[in-house]
Amino acid sequence: PTPEQMKASLVQVASQSLCCDCNGVNPMNASINNGIFLCDVCAEVHKTFGDQFSFVRSIPNNDWNYICYLYMELGNNENFRGFMEKYSLLAEPVAIRYTSRAAEYYRMRVSSL
């Protein structure tokens, strides 16, 4: 797909999704290395973690390449939440959740697919 098609596809998926952290509607940001959609408020929180834990980009305002697009397709909110639940991390504060060894493993797993 072209960059424009990738962005259009992500905007469409995001508009039908919920924020991975707070379940807010219409999340127009992404944590690329986690492969999840985020609302504006949660995206700002993620930016404080550093790119190694959460590489945040605006879906409509940033350029997207094929690798970033694949991260979003292979990661996705449902897979991330299921993985965190498996390690009993969903109830933890977001800072702990995304800086955990389990989250690091998840990011490595997504990047290797």
**DSSP per-residue codes, 21-84:** TT--BS--EEETTTTEEE-HHHHHHHHTT-TTT--EEETTTS---HHHHHHHHHS-HHHHHHHH
pLDDT per residue as tens digits for the range 14-27: 878 899 999 999 89
pLDDT in tens, 39-90: 999 999 999 999 999 999 999 888 888 899 899 888 889 999 999 999 999 9
Q: How far apart are CA 66 and CA 55, in angstroms?
A: 15
pLDDT at 106 over 80: yes
d(CA 56, CA 28): 11
Buried b (16+ CB within 10 A) or exposed e, 20-45: bbeebeebbbbbbbbbbbbbeebbeb
pLDDT confidence of 97, banded at 50, 70, 90?
very high
Q: How far apart are CA 53 and CA 15, in angstroms?
A: 24
pTM for this model (two decimals): 0.90
- Taken as a whole, the chain contains a residue count of 113
pLDDT of residue 75: 87
